[in-house]
Structure 1
Amino acid sequence: MDIHTHAHLDRLRARLLALRRELFAELGDAPRPQDAAMQAPDAKDFKDLAQRDALSRLAEVRERRELSELEAVEAALQRMDGEDYGDCCDCGEPIGLPRLLLMPMAIRCAPCQQRLEEDMRLGHRPAGAALHRHPA
């Protein structure tokens, strides 16, 4: 873990806890997919059915995104408790503090994340947690 002071760790934990509260609030306030479909006007034609379907799908996508982000926050808090927080899951090197301050639930250092995104852009299947060492 490349976090030099407890103040940084406390700041990151506070940020993660704030994100968790926000996500719980958003999930609690968000209409469920079936609720979104019910809010659409009664279906009278194909346009109404399409609108109802679009609202339902949009609500599903939003809920899945928020649940995924909540899982990432929870996982980051667990890594923090287990002292694995701040280490790249691919290469094992420390994730830089500036990256963690921007994205406290990051699991990869910037070089490994860039490599993963490039592989995905090129249509390559990620190799998983292959240990890639990069220069310090």
Structure 2
Amino acid sequence: MRDDIDIEALRQRLLDRARELEAMAETRRQAGRTVELDQSRTGRLSRMDAMQAQAMAHAGEARAQDEYRRIQAALKRIDSGDYGDCLDCGDPIGAGRLNFDPAITLCLACAEQREQR
């Protein structure tokens, strides 16, 4: 177990963010519902705006689901004692990096290496 990071504080941040994402899920679902295409009720530009908003809502939902999965994976790593280690090289992830994003999975060197690929 690492002593350079406050794992319990990071766990709480992860849990809080997961609850936020769960609470916002219904709003995102409503924003992404089917666009009404009744031309007698809505003008062409209004329909286009609604379709764009729907597409943005779907993209937002996908990002939220990805973030939720990353949070759940980080919580599992905390429970298993593997939290804070890079998934690629196994070296410790910097404390500042974990404080910035508690769900991060790569050390800076491995993240930079992946970006260069």
What TM-score results when the alignment is normalised by the length of structure 2? 0.84
Cα distance per residue 1:60-101 (max 9 Å; x no partner): 011111111111101100111111111111111111111111
- Does the alignment pair 1:26 with 2:24? yes
Aligned positions of 1:1-136 closer than 5 A? 3-4=2-3, 8-30=6-28, 31-34=30-33, 37-38=35-36, 42-45=41-44, 47-119=45-117
Runs of 4+ in 1 over 4 A off after TM superposition: none
- The alpha carbon displacement at 1:52 in A equals 2.2
- The alpha carbon displacement at 1:28 in A equals 2.8
How many residues align? The count is 113
5+ residue gaps, structure 2, are: none
What TM-score results when the alignment is normalised by the length of structure 1? 0.74
5+ residue gaps, structure 1, are: 120-136
Cα distance per residue 1:81-122 (max 9 Å; x no partner): 111111111111111111111110010001111111232xxx
Provide the secondary structure at the position in 1 that maps to 2:6: helix
Work out the percentage of aligned pairs sharing the same amino acid. Answer: 32
RMSD: 2.0
